[in-house]
Amino acid sequence: MASLSRAPQQWATFARVWYLLDGKMQPPGKLAALASVRLQGLHKPVYHQLSDCGDHVVIMNTRHIAFSGNKWEQKVYSSHTGYPGGFKQVTAAQLHRKDPVAIVKLAIYGMLPKNLHRRTLMKRLHLFPDEDIPEDILKNLTEELPQPRKVPRRLDEYTQEEIEAFPRVWSPTMTVKHVWIVLKCNGVRSLRPEDYRL
């Protein structure tokens, strides 16, 4: 590849790049970690806090993010309106229902540096609940980042050959039903054919 002269090389180094991230079945924290690194420009060797070298990040399918554990029910997002009695606490599930973009947005907001750059970096973040992204943003996208979590395959996503190739691990055993020995003078009950069942 021919080397560029100084001005085009500088332009190529400092150009702002648009990244795409698919949030389907991904934990929002891991998405946020990737996004915050790209937004600040920490993934570049030419990073400097004052040189404004961050990139744009577009995250789609934020409606389909997946929390591990019981965080949908346990994680609480708190806010205060400023007025007395205005302390609101909402669970992650309720917040997601109200605004499918909010969880990822808050996660990224919390991971960015707590200075005045944060607001400008958030302006460079674009979140979409589903797959439909406006035309002008689609035209800007250059690279899709790999998903942070490897999504496990469902049972119906395995082919029949794979299911048959997997060894069968057990075969049915025979058991004797629990037998009660009746301690009576007129004798005890012995095992009958219906006691032997699968």
Partner 1 sequence: MAALNVLVSGCGRFLRGLLTGPTVTSWARPPARWLREVVEIQEGKTTIIEGRITGTPRESPNPPNPSGQCPICRWNLKHKYSYEDVLLLSQFIRPHGGMLPRRVTGLCQEEHRKIEECVKMAHRAGLLPNHRPKLPEGFVPKTRPRLNRYLTRWSPRSVKPIYNKGHRWNKLNRLPEVEVRTQLLGFGQGQSYKGAAGRKGWSSPSPTIPFLSDWRPHGGACKGFSQLLMGN
Which spans of this chain sit near partner 1 (rule: CB under 8 A)?
25, 64-70, 72-76, 89, 91, 93, 96-97, 149-150, 152-156, 158, 162-163, 165-175, 178-179, 181, 183, 188, 190-191, 198
Tokens at 183, concatenated:
């301690």
Q: Which is nearer to partner 1, 52 or 195 (CB)?
A: 195
88 φ, ψ (degrees, to nearest 5): -115, 135
| Nearby residues of 64 by Cβ (< 8 Å), 6 or more positions away | 23, 24, 25
Q: How far is the CB of 37 from partner 1 (least distance, A)?
A: 20
**Rounded to an integer, what distance in angstroms lies between the CA atom of residue 169 and that of residue 45?**
52
**Helix or strand holding residue 87 (H, E):** strand 87-91
Q: Largest Cα–Cα distance in the chain?
A: 109
Neighbours of 54 (CB within 10 A): 24
Q: Do residues 19 and 38 lie in contact, with contact meaning Cβ atoms separated by under 8 Å?
A: yes
Choose between 32 and 65: whose C-beta lies nearer to partner 1. 65
Q: Is the Cβ–Cβ distance between 100 and 91 less than 8 Å?
A: no
Sequence-ordered list of residues with C-beta below 8 angstroms from that of 86, at least 6 positions apart, any chain: 80
From the CB of 177, what's the least distance to partner 1, in Å?
9
| Smaller CB separation from partner 1, 123 or 149 | 149
Could you tell me the smallest distance in angstroms from the CB atom of residue 41 to partner 1? 28
Of 47 and 196, CB closest to partner 1: 196
Nearer to partner 1, 123 or 189 (CB): 189
Q: Taking the complex as a whole, how short is the minimal distance between the CB of residue 55 and partner 1, in angstroms?
A: 27
Contact 144, 20 (CB under 8 A): yes
Tokens 């949908």 — which residue?
Answer: 72
Considering the complex, what minimum distance in angstroms separates the CB of residue 36 from partner 1?
19
For the bound state, the minimum distance from the C-beta of residue 171 to partner 1, rounded and expressed in Å, comes to: 4
- By beta-carbon proximity to partner 1, the closer residue of 5 and 190 is 190
